Structure formats: structure tokens, C-alpha cells
Structure 1
Amino acid sequence: MLLQTCGLHAGYDRFKALFGVDIAVEPGECVAIIGANGAGKSTLMRAISGVLRSAPDMVLHRGVPIGHLPAPQVMQRGIAMVPEGRRLFPSLSVEENLLIGAQMRRGTGPWALESVYELFPILRERRASPGTALSGGQQQMVAIGRALMSNPDLLLCDEISLGLAPVVIRDIYAALPRIRATGAAVVVVEQDITQALTVADRVYCLMEGRVTLTGRPGDLSRAAIHDAYFGGHA
């Protein structure tokens, strides 16, 4: 197993946001995490990526406990996150933002400036522009490219479609198969249930910090997803 969380508890100071969460990600697969606002989706991503610490054995990467590791060490192991809100460096150009990701590169791999520009050609055209001078969709492409520059085997995407136009969302999600073709697994956090079911091999639904449903999209009824998402029949 590439990644496992085992009874994961996490939160902020005295506020607990996750209560015994178990998920698993196999090499090369796409897993979607769905749930309403406040379900704990972003907290889960932060705990996996090392932004939030947990007990060591609550997060396993290739069987090795990493729950206690800080984010830079987690990234060096091969887990990169595209954070909600993109968080580009406003004083840096597109290319300089991408090169930040390369500083955490682990050995050789498929991703470098040229391959990122092939994935998102508009970034080559805007390479000298300030990152924050781009449209929201282009900024999201920079954030994804920055994460890929570290050559991860697991890419965590936290709300990558949030606030973007449908045509832009389509273009960004069209890049996922090419990312997975390099052998990387992808975890996508989504509020858009339809989008999540379209791209995922498996889905986990969170509600109030707990897993309420898991399965393959084709095996899950809309009614079951609705109940897991909202907590019962309307």
C-alpha cells in the first residue's frame, strides 16, 4: 500500500477535526475525498502532508510511519500537496514558483520545467509573469506544476476546482490521466460529487471528521452517497 491512515486523529490545539479516520491509497490510483464544508477533508490532507503532526503510526507511507514527520521530510519521501487557495509566492514569476518545488526534488523523475510546460502550455507563455498576475485557473496550474516538480509518487490536491469556471476545471482535470501515467497516485479533495465520481477509482466520504462511506464509484448509489454526505435522508 502506498499510503494508509490508521485511526487518524488530528486537529488544531484543543479542536479535534478527525476522529479515527482510515483511508488507503494504492500505487497509481486516484482516490477522491468528498464531504461538505467542515467535514475534515483539508485537515486530512494537512495531516498526511505533515502540516499537522499526529502519532507516527497513524500515517504510513509504503509501510513506514510518518505521522510525526514535518512537511519538508514528508515531501522528500514523495508526497506533495497542492494546497487549497494555491498559495503562490506573489513576488516570484511563474517559473520561479515552479522552481521552488524542484528544491524538494527526490532523485530523478519525469517532472521538470519542460514536462510541466508540456502539461500546461499556457505556463510556458506566461513563464516570466508574476504568479499572482495570472487567472485563477492558471494559478492553479502553477500550484500543480510546483508540486509535480518534486517528482512525487503521491499528489494531494485540496479543492483544486474551488472557485473556477467549469471550462477551466475541465482542463485541469484533463491533466490527471497524464500525471497518473507517470506512476503517481492522486488524492483529490472535492465538494463536487459528480466531478469526484468521474475521476476516482475509489471514493471516501467524510462527515464531521469520520468516514461515512467508501467504495468504487460504480458500486455506490446516489442515495447512499447523499446519506453519507449529508447525514440521512432529506
Structure 2
Amino acid sequence: MLETHGLTASYGQFKALFGIDITVAPGECVAIIGANGAGKTTLLRSISGVLRNAPDMVLHKGTPIGALAADAVLQRGIAMVPEGRKLFPSLSVEENLLIGGQVRRGDGRWTLETVYALFPILKERRLSPATALSGGQQQMVAIGRALMSNPELLLCDEISLGLAPVVIRDIYAALPRIRETGAAMVIVEQDITRALAVADRVYCLMEGRVTLTGATTSITREAVHAAYFGDAA
């Protein structure tokens, strides 16, 4: 479904990614782990079109999309849940969700009612200003907004960051239900244990480079630790 080939990315003179190669198969969940500054968010921004690259550095179903703008990438079925949620503060919960549905792919599963079924608290708070909700509820809105476009690939950037453990549990409990729709997922996460628990495969980044990749069932904790912190093998 998705491939990157020698993906590089920079912010001005600062180079953040150095030749990243990853793949995501249809329906697969891939975790991207690494310390702060490893390049995880930059990778998702490059895939989603927030950062533009050479066209053939990112392929979607074999089609080069690396130079496409974010709205064109969204129209192809790749939606992102950004770090920090980025909700519209002047709009209600329901209005934020409806904005996510402005670019819809066909008659997919995700509607207001199915998002509310996934996160029932949002229906109760649908008329409230989105930013008046708790941090966890705001994260649910951000996920729901992305789902409203009926994506076939959902990019999630640090969806547990700053949330209480009980809230993180509830959000992660919803991920299998999202995957049941056939959507693939890429999850950026600093919590290694949680990432390995939900993903099929994992990539570890350090200083803009892939230091480890493999199936989560076969990678040892020692290998992850070495890749994460740069310990000598």
C-alpha cells in the first residue's frame, strides 16, 4: 500500500531524515518508535504531504506521491492524526468531525454515527467546543475527524502523549475496531511496550535513520533497546 524509498527531509539547513525505506501492507499496523528528535513526526509529515519531497520518495499503491500537497494525499485515502490534535477551537466537537468528512472516499463505514459508536462520549459532548473537552476526549475527536474521510491508511502521531493511563487504554482499545474496517495504520509512539503490543511490524528510528525493523513477534527487547538508544550490538 505504501512505500518510501531513500526518503530524506529537511527543515532549512537541518536534515531530519536520511534515506528512510519503509513499507506498509494493506490492513497492516506498523509502529514507528524512537526517542525525541529521532525523525518520527517528520516521517509522518513527509508521507502525509505536509512536507514535500521528490515524487518517487513516497509511493502509494505504486504511484509517486512524494511531491503532492497534503490535501491531495488525503484525497488518495491517507489521513493523519497530528501530534497535539490541532482541533479548531472555535468549532464544536461535531463541527470538527464534519470538517474531516469534507474529503470523503466513497461510501465508507465512517460517519458521525459510527464515530460516535466508537467514542460514545463524543456524542454526549457533540455541541461543546472541541477544546473544552479533556485531553483524552480531544484526542478522540482528532481520531474521529481523520476517520470521517474514510481513510485506507491512518497515520497516528503520538496519540498517547500527555494522557492519563486509563485514557490511553481506552484509545488503544479502539484501534482494533478501526483495523476491522480494513484500514492500515502507522503509529508513532514513544511508549515501546504499547507500540509493540498493537503493531504487526516495527521500525526504530534514531537521528533520522532506521536502526531496526522486523515483526513485533520476533524482535527481542534487547534488540529494541540497542536500536533505540544506539547501544553497541
* TM-score (norm: length of structure 2): 0.99
Q: Deviations over 1:124-168 (max 9, x none)?
A: 000000000000000000000000000000000000000001110
Q: CA RMSD in A?
A: 0.9
Counterpart amino acid of residue 58 in structure 1: M
- Cα deviation for residue 108 of structure 1 reads 1.4
Show the counterpart of 1:112: 111
8 A Cα contact 1:94 1:142, kept in partner:
yes
Query: Equivalent residues in 2 for 1:169-184 (5 A)?
Result: 169-184=168-183
SS in 1 for 2:8: strand
Distance (Å, rounded) in 1 between the aligned partners of 2:49 and 2:178:
22
Show the counterpart of 1:162: 161
Show the counterpart of 1:193: 192
- Cα deviation for residue 233 of structure 1 reads 5.1
SS in 2 for 1:104: coil
Distance (Å, rounded) in 1 between the aligned partners of 2:193 and 2:232:
19
Q: Does 1:137 align with 2:139?
A: no
Distance (Å, rounded) in 2 between the aligned partners of 1:11 and 1:139:
30
Counterpart amino acid of residue 189 in structure 1: V
SS in 2 for 1:54: coil
- Cα deviation for residue 123 of structure 1 reads 0.2
Counterpart amino acid of residue 187 in structure 2: V
Counterpart amino acid of residue 204 in structure 1: Y
Farther-moved stretch of structure 1 (80-89 vs 106-115): 106-115
Query: Equivalent residues in 2 for 1:17-96 (5 A)?
Result: 17-96=16-95
- Cα deviation for residue 102 of structure 1 reads 0.4
Q: Deviations over 1:85-114 (max 9, x none)?
A: 000000000000000100111221000100
SS in 1 for 2:4: strand
Query: Equivalent residues in 2 for 1:115-126 (5 A)?
Result: 115-126=114-125
Structure 1 residue runs of 5 or longer lacking an equivalent are none
* TM-score (norm: length of structure 1): 0.98
Distance (Å, rounded) in 2 between the aligned partners of 1:233 and 1:64:
38
Counterpart amino acid of residue 8 in structure 1: L
Q: Deviations over 1:64-90 (max 9, x none)?
A: 000000000000000000000000000
8 A Cα contact 1:36 1:207, kept in partner:
yes
User: Could you tell me the percent identity over the aligned residues?
Assistant: 79
Distance (Å, rounded) in 1 between the aligned partners of 2:232 and 2:123:
48
Q: Which runs of 4+ in 1 moved over 3 A?
A: none
- Cα deviation for residue 227 of structure 1 reads 0.6
SS in 1 for 2:104: coil
Show the counterpart of 1:221: 220
Distance (Å, rounded) in 2 between the aligned partners of 1:136 and 1:165:
9
Distance (Å, rounded) in 2 between the aligned partners of 1:202 and 1:213:
11
Counterpart amino acid of residue 71 in structure 2: P
Task: State the number of aligned residues.
Answer: 233
Distance (Å, rounded) in 2 between the aligned partners of 1:11 and 1:181:
36
